[in-house]
Structure 1
């Protein structure tokens, strides 16, 4: 067999569970991500172990970013006996324990001693490495392997992986794992730079069959929603995931409020925007946002310029953080019973649980309020059912959380907030280097999205060998 050889332990049935294995020789391999397969992507039969595969020969785990569909099986990996390094970027090294602690408490055990034991093992294995520098993983007489992290623009610390594998003295085979690639104009993050070359490109395909709406209009649409809330004395409810989307929203809200305050100071706007509270009601999102603030050296140039001008894009004065459940209940009751406008960002993003549910139950029946969706709602979730009522007039019945609710609140969806590259971005990533990849393996996407993206890639480069990943258990 000619090495290196690629196999998969997830991320090929759909858009979750990314877990790819690069076999360097018959006895040595690397694991890139170890994500959780969720929903329809989960295997129809239960795996023989919670991890779903044997860990023999794995010398290192490399993490592209810390969303659960890329890291959610790490607790099972450690439970299976893995003791090797977990390589990732510095921001991911800070964020990974927060994400996995929360997942461990909810999905495995909330016993303090179990959580502490898991976190101690995790911290011992995490090995942060710098962007854009080669790091040697294997250096033997017969084999060399080195990796490099490059910015992927998906969320803070996200990376794509370049991996060079070669017998000593021979020309290296370069394998590139895209992880999840970000969309352009993510103002808080630095942009993606495509790989110079790739002999094998393992490419995500989440939005391989579509183009995103114009992102340049999203802030003006968000501003218009705030204007409506002020006019109606209502609350804007924004369901958002704690990692990535919440921080992008805070960044844009700070800019809107900053510009509005300048207009008030100039006498151009009679509304006192300085009195509009932005309520962040998610303890996990607060912890993650604090890590984002501490790691501002990884922000975009524009974001760091705001800091240099004395602004705090993720910690501005009108941001109110809600910690305890008792505080949460008081805020819900206050906003329901008063006529003071506010913006609430709360989890979870699909409205299937978390604190956003209590806000929605209390306010869906009041026309003063507005539910603002900034992310994709999976079919069948409460968020999708509410979103389906967008544009309907009068009293609308909606079945969510096991009950029927009357919906009078406005429902609005804002495009342009996707954290993933669209088809144009994916093709640009594959074509953007000095030479196209020799072979492309599509993962992390539905079958239809992969087919459309494969056709788009072949149109640009007819000689391309484009295949869909095949799961090897």
Structure 2
């Protein structure tokens, strides 16, 4: 048995890992798109897929699923295992990815989605399933799969794979992206009972987040200061996960605010049809919410559908809103994709409002190297500039970062995921992080786990 890494080794995008069980059989965990500095124009599958019997999807962020159409085009016909919520979200994500980055041809898109839907197998959390094909060449060898809740976004899972007979199995765990503790809406991930080999993400391997109360206070104070000059607040956010968490927190702030407060008049605008569709899916899968969120529902509140929330659907409405906000001194909170500002409607807002000193940009998620979001974070405080649509845009806006809203576990969370296991891994492979984050996390693991665990930074 060995593991090959086809992405997420030189950064945080392109997650794709191949678990080779024997010379005839392997499994693919995720098949994601490269973004930012890691992006390259040729997205075709550049590794041998002849032994890959199944794809297992941890969650449906584009950096974990964006290359699935290319995998299908390369001839992959095996099952695609994922959670029930992810199975519901995945076709929407792939359809959008095709339209944005590949083709607008409806016939091609429909053909791809037909294949995808045919191959998806929705799996319950906490339930072991036998992968029958794995024993085709070795009758004594069995392979079982189980999905556990990862708390990152709706439907996200970490993957447990048992190889061998029950009395002598080797358990491989792939973390996918682990959620942060006390994240709104979803419960935090629980450590697995055991892992012999663990492949773990390291997005925030060198940092710890602010506490939830701190980040909520900061969000509230930043927005109050930002709208005091009648400017707009731009929040780049991923359509799945971050947008819904922000709405949940904003509803709570509005609920607690006095009736005379500016919060009662402030409009919250989600300018993303995708985000609106995913928010409906979050509402549909309420059973996956945490206890706090379920309690709010019992109180008659609607954390993802409150009165001051408005959704922009068509491109025409999108352009009209930008023009309206440009001509009026009308404060508003705009939540739009993409989360790293590498495309989507947020780019049009940034092009128009980034040079306006009454504008505030709030980053609530990780900004990958080479992305527009990272450039704004880096050059904004210096009064620098960025290039948008081939035009130089001076950054006069105030730029804020609230790291506590990341949907990724921080260093403490990543450490607890391992130390919480009853039976610790003998091999730990670190992926999905910038070099500093991976090195810092590896050192921390060496300190807390000792010499009994082999720790590798995947290459």
Aligned length: 453
Determine if the alignment matches structure 1 residue 122 to structure 2 residue 109.
no
Instruction: State the partner residue of 1:68.
Output: 62
Matches within 5 A, 1:185-196: 185-196=182-193
SS in 2 for 1:405: strand
Change (3 A) 1:434 1:248: same
Instruction: State the partner residue of 2:420.
Output: 432
2:3 aligns with one of 1, 6, 17: 6
Matches within 5 A, 1:394-413: 396=383, 398-401=385-388, 402-413=390-401
Aligned-residue Cα RMSD (Å) equals 2.1
Shift of 1:446: 2.7
Instruction: State the partner residue of 2:318.
Output: 328
1:161 aligns with one of 156, 159, 162: 159
Change (3 A) 1:444 1:272: closer
Shift of 1:456: 1.0
Instruction: State the partner residue of 1:51.
Output: 45
Instruction: State the partner residue of 1:301.
Output: 291
Determine if the alignment matches structure 1 residue 337 to structure 2 residue 327.
yes
SS in 1 for 2:376: helix
Shift of 1:25: 2.2
Structure 1: runs of 5+ lacking an equivalent = 265-269
Instruction: State the partner residue of 1:466.
Output: 455
1:107 aligns with one of 101, 108, 112: 101
The question of whether the paired residues in 2 share the 8 Å contact of 1:385 and 1:400 is answered with no
Instruction: State the partner residue of 2:307.
Output: 317
The question of whether the paired residues in 1 share the 8 Å contact of 2:358 and 2:397 is answered with yes
Shift of 1:404: 3.2
Change (3 A) 1:366 1:206: closer
Larger Rg: 1
The Cα offsets for residues 336-361 of structure 1, whole Å up to 9 and x where unpaired, read as 22233211111222334322233233
2:79 aligns with one of 66, 76, 85: 85
The Cα offsets for residues 51-89 of structure 1, whole Å up to 9 and x where unpaired, read as 111211222111111112211121111111111110001
TM-score by length of 2: 0.93
Shift of 1:382: 3.4
Change (3 A) 1:453 1:391: closer
Matches within 5 A, 1:153-302: 153-167=151-165, 170-260=167-257, 263-264=258-259, 270-271=260-261, 273-302=263-292
1:137 aligns with one of 131, 137, 143: 131
For residues 99 and 414 of structure 2, what CA distance do their matches in structure 1 show?
Answer: 35
Shift of 1:105: 1.4
Instruction: State the partner residue of 1:267.
Output: none
Moved more, 450-459 or 134-143: 134-143
Q: Runs of 4 or more off by more than 4 Å in structure 1?
A: 389-392
Shift of 1:380: 4.6
SS in 2 for 1:24: strand
For residues 108 and 232 of structure 2, what CA distance do their matches in structure 1 show?
Answer: 40
Instruction: State the partner residue of 2:20.
Output: 23
Determine if the alignment matches structure 1 residue 355 to structure 2 residue 345.
yes
Moved more, 116-125 or 403-412: 403-412
Change (3 A) 1:23 1:213: same
Change (3 A) 1:445 1:280: same
The question of whether the paired residues in 2 share the 8 Å contact of 1:390 and 1:412 is answered with no
The question of whether the paired residues in 2 share the 8 Å contact of 1:397 and 1:404 is answered with no
TM-score by length of 1: 0.90
Shift of 1:151: 0.9
For residues 103 and 441 of structure 2, what CA distance do their matches in structure 1 show?
Answer: 40
Moved more, 239-248 or 110-119: 239-248
For residues 65 and 221 of structure 2, what CA distance do their matches in structure 1 show?
Answer: 37
SS in 2 for 1:128: strand
